[in-house]
Amino acid sequence: MTVGTPQPETEGAPDQTVAARFALWQRAGGIATPLATALFAFLVAGLVVLATGHNPLQTYRAIFNGAGLNWLFPWVHGATRQTAAFNLQETGLLIIPLVLTGLAVAFAFRSGLFNIGGQGQYIVGIVTGTQMGVWFASLPGPVHIFLAVTAAALAGAVWGGIAGILRATVGAHEVISTIMLNWIAIWVGSYLIGFGGPFQDSSQPGVPVSREIASNAHLPVFWGSPLLQGLDIGFFVALGTLVVYWLVIRRTTLGFEVRAVGYNPDAAQNAGIGVARNYFIAMAISGGFAGLAGAMDILGWQFRLDVTTVQTASQVAFTGIAVALLGRNTAVGTFLAAALFAGLINGTASRNLDPSVFPPELAGNLTRIIQGLVVLFVAADVLILYVWNFRRKLKRRRAAPTTAPVAE
Amino acid sequence: MEDATPVLELRGITKQFPGVLANDAIDLDLARGEIHALLGENGAGKSTLMNILFGLYKPDEGEILLEGRRVSFSSAKEAIAAGIGMVHQHFMLIPVMTVAENIVLGHEPVRAGVVLDERAARRRVEDVARTFKFAVDPAARVDEITVGQQQRVEIMKALYRNANILILDEPTAVLTPQEAFDLFEILRTLRREGISIIFISHKLNEVLEIADRITVLRRGKVIETVPGKGATEEGLARAMVGRDVLLRVEKAPSTPGGPLLDVDELHVSDDRDLETVHGLSFEVHAGEIVGLAGIDGNGQAELVEAIVGLRQPTAGRVVVAGENVTRGGPRHLIDVGVGHIPGDRQRRGLVLDFSIAENLSLHAYRKPPESRLGWLSPRRIVARARILIREYDIRGGGAQTIARSLSGGNQQKVVIAREIAAEPRVLVASQPTRGLDVGAIEYVHRRLVEERDEQKAVLLVSLELEEIRSLSDRILVIYEGELVGEFSPETSEEELGLAMTGGGRRGEEVPA
């Protein structure tokens, strides 16, 4: 029998967008939820370690030291301290692209779009940055660096912007188009620096690698040795970009429009805000952040680009998604999440994890386990919220002839 | 009413929801053959009470007596079996099935245990129709009959299940005046046949017209139960809201100036590219409120969207203060001074996850002093919001409160404050009081009249004839995308209602 649904006393609010859902979630959980999420992920990873017959506490400590965090302890001296400093510099180098690719996801999220194309945008950025670093070798250092960095960011912006335009004009979903653009970037990049490619190093035709960038295009190193991958000023670029991100989102009319579109495109349109225009701008800026990440990596410590990097650059870009998710699309959160993942990746690198503590073949996977758990919990968090909202909706609209809810 | 035992009696019904006492020791009784109106604002506890009666909620305290016997329903099925029928605001009918099939659904007469006996079904439906004098063709498909007829099918569904108590939840909300009139006739017939009816509403005039007794709820409590005879709108409104309410819109005669909004031969299509507005032309002058009356879905939505720039008209012109703005887009329309109070405030009017301050600045953010050269000044945005919150009496939060957490009335105040603060020359208000309480309605109406008195041109689009008649200086009736005629606000509801259904295209000539 069809019996009716009691009418809710107020009209239902329109369905929330992803951005709106995140906002609600952020207010509901504040900083406690992401913290708990990260801790819980570590805990579960510890159980995995335990299940393989190893000591989780030792593993945690090894990760801690591997990330170089023991450098912070004043009682660490001598060779250990040197190793710790080196490890921490490495972690810092990883924070740079993670912050930037995290922002690439976060900014798009603010406009209600899901940018999965950080990888492709990173690749076009790094390829462009490499070639700009190779060319113009006669330019003075700062000018050369500025040129290469700007070109890389612009290339990323174009790549992201394409997905934005497609979304804005024909409504092609950005998740699909950015994934396709990722593959285009991978294979175009592989062609350019691969065997016989136009940007391949002609002096070693047997190696699929670009020429080395001019030494005056190297980013200055402010901590550690420039020869041993010390920490370069890209770190400050990343911090500065976080500030820029915060300013744009919170203090500019552009950020106001992007957020309005992200929360409610219908109301934004009604207020005279160009929804399509903002989709394009948000994707272009997102792409710019990812392109910048590529430039920082090549000018900071890689100096030459090989095909393997192009094809596995995915790790950094995809970790950016986890960074944005865990960091709640906020500037501070993105930095903290980037630092966490950088420490994790570096701390579990097989060179850092003592084989007696944890077998090296499992070490790298430990990061992925934790990373996966974080994403899972974040997603589950949103899912729980969604289910909770849905249940409330269901309760209000319940048509319950046979299975009426016996209220408590 | 020789039978002294009430058909239904609710005693001390109490229901606590987290944070809200939805029903607080409610007593209610229903005599045989009585129409008992349940009057109250949104959130007064009417729906909760009826859901308890219908077995959907279990009361925390109190008891339900049917014919003097204590009952306790744990499901709607049990309530139906006990003779209670409920007609919801939104119908629960299957459009592609016939009237008869819908009515017997769930209680089908069967042959040999499994086969639907269509003839028996038809016959029994005809029996019900004859007994209660329903004019509905049992063989018609539900999607081919009018809304008013669909409602009758819902009522017949309940009667077919031998309901002797009928609960009607805001039954006139979806009806035209003529259909409402017919419904009341039906209800009177049912009353004569001994059916008891609980009539839920927040419309004072119709409650006074139909009800034998009226129970007013406010914040979960019974404020009073009074006989329908002798009750007044003023008294009921006071009981509902808890203070004196201005029911009649007080306004001086209008002093119209020159035309500010000129809609000229406008053709508009809907999302499916079907033309829903066929060459409409009208003017709205400074200092007048023009009401556009019509049944929902006759092209009003597309017309409004075309005027405010959200939808491109296929032909024709929109002229604001002499400037052709036909293809200007919403931003341009805002800039030339067209304010828009959208019909769907939560979807179109507000960014629910923005703060009140941000929502109030949804237009102003792009101009000084809220922003300079693309840089926002959150301090000024909040300062401006504080002023508007005070001026427009927005309650339930401060400048930084998220709009989602406000009540419907206060959300609408945010929209109105924003649109009026932009000092528009033309204000397009689409169903500005939908879903609002009596108190909030009074507020919205007062603001609209004030705008008119400030020599703004106000176009009021509403499905509520009462609202159109009390606010408008001129009334235009739209039917199937065309203007049927222009009427004075003194025109009777019946005449307007007739025009709204396309009947009797009288009235004066449509102004070119």
Instruction: Spell out the residues 6+ positions from residue B81 whose beta carbon is closer than 8 angstroms to its own.
Output: none
| Chain A residues inside the 8 Å CB shell of B92 | 2-5, 399
The pLDDT of residue A398 is above 60: no
Average pLDDT value for residue range A272-286: 96
Residue A145 in any domain: the answer is: yes
The pLDDT of residue A404 is above 80: no
Cβ B358–A269 below 8 Å, yes or no?
Answer: no
| Chain B residues inside the 8 Å CB shell of A5 | 88, 90, 92
- Supply the DSSP string of B274-307, one letter for each residue: -EEEEEEEEEEETTEEEEEE--TTSSHHHHHHHH
Identical fold at B8-241 and B246-337+424-512? yes
Among 3.40.50.10420, 3.40.50.300, 3.50.50.60, 2.60.40.10, name the CATH number for the domain at B8-241: 3.40.50.300
Residue A318 in any domain: the answer is: yes
* Predicted pLDDT at B286: 95
Instruction: Spell out the residues 6+ positions from residue A161 whose beta carbon is closer than 8 angstroms to its own.
Output: A280, A283, A284, A287
Domains: count for chain A? 1
**Average confidence (pLDDT) per 10 residues, chain B, 512 residues:** 76 84 91 92 82 88 91 88 87 86 82 76 84 82 85 90 90 79 90 93 86 92 91 88 78 89 94 90 96 89 94 94 91 94 90 94 91 93 95 87 85 93 94 82 91 95 89 94 92 87 56 42
Cβ B47–A9 below 8 Å, yes or no?
Answer: yes
Is ipTM over 0.90? Answer: no
Asked whether the beta carbons of B485 and B255 are under 8 A apart, the reply is no
Cβ A400–B350 below 8 Å, yes or no?
Answer: no
Task: Looking at the complex, report in whole angstroms how far the Cα of residue B337 sits from the nearest Cα belonging to chain A.
Answer: 12
What CATH architecture does domain B246-337+424-512 belong to?
3-Layer(aba) Sandwich (3.40)
Closest partner residue to B55 among A2, A269, A404, by Cβ? A404
Question: What residue in A sits closest to B362 (Cα-Cα)?
Answer: A271
Tokens of A18: 């992803």
Residue ranges making up the domain that contains A121: 53-357
Cβ A267–B351 below 8 Å, yes or no?
Answer: yes
Closest partner residue to B58 among A253, A264, A406, by Cβ? A406
Task: Mutate one of B352, B415, B418 to test the A interface: name it (highest A CB count within 10 A).
Answer: B352
| Chain A residues inside the 8 Å CB shell of B150 | none
Which among B72, B90, B91, B82 has a CA at the least distance from the CA of B142? B91
Q: Is the peptide bond before B369 cis (omega within 30 degrees of 0)?
A: yes
Cβ A263–B106 below 8 Å, yes or no?
Answer: no
Tokens of A385: 């919220």
| Higher-scoring residue by pLDDT: B81, A353 | B81
Tokens of B222: 């019974």
Residue A232 in any domain: the answer is: yes
* Predicted pLDDT at A355: 67
The pLDDT of residue A300 is above 60: yes
- Terminal Cα-to-Cα distance of chain B (whole angstroms): 58
Mean residue pLDDT of chain A comes to 84
Per DSSP, A330 falls in state -
Asked whether the beta carbons of B11 and B69 are under 8 A apart, the reply is no
Task: Mutate one of B78, B347, B400 to test the A interface: name it (highest A CB count within 10 A).
Answer: B347
Q: How far apart are CA B269 and CA B302, in angstroms?
A: 7
Q: Are strands B8-17 and B196-201 parallel, antiparallel or unpaired?
A: unpaired
- Supply the DSSP string of A84-137, one letter for each residue: HHHHHHHHHHHHHHHHHHHHHHHHHHHTT----THHHHHHHHHHHHHHHHHS-T
The pLDDT of residue A10 is above 80: no
Lowest mean pLDDT among A19-28, A143-152, B151-160, B254-263: A19-28
Residue A251 CB-density burial (10 A; 0-12 exposed, 13-18 middle, 19+ buried): middle
* Predicted pLDDT at A23: 57
* Predicted pLDDT at B272: 83
Task: Mutate one of B60, B92, B336, B351 to test the A interface: name it (highest A CB count within 10 A).
Answer: B351
Question: B86 φ, ψ to 5°?
Answer: -130, 135
Residue A310 in any domain: the answer is: yes
Q: Tell the residue number behind the tokens 């018609």, with chain if given.
A: B140
* Predicted pLDDT at A352: 62
Q: How far apart are CA B393 and CA B444, in angstroms?
A: 12
Long-range Cβ contact pairs of B51-55 (< 8 A, separation 24 or more) = B51/A6, B52/B13, B52/B15, B52/B23, B53/B8, B53/B10, B53/B79, B53/B84, B53/B167, B54/A6, B54/B79, B54/B84, B54/B86, B54/B167, B55/A404, B55/B79
Distance of alpha carbon B320 from its chain centroid, rounded?
A: 30
Closest partner residue to A10 among B169, B376, B408, by Cβ? B408
Please list the helix, strand and coil fractions of chain B in percent, rounded to the nearest 5, in that order.
Answer: 35, 25, 40
Residue A268 in any domain: the answer is: yes
We report the CATH number of the domain holding residue A179 as 1.10.3470
Asked whether the beta carbons of A293 and A123 are under 8 A apart, the reply is no
Q: How far apart are CA A370 and CA B438, in angstroms?
A: 56
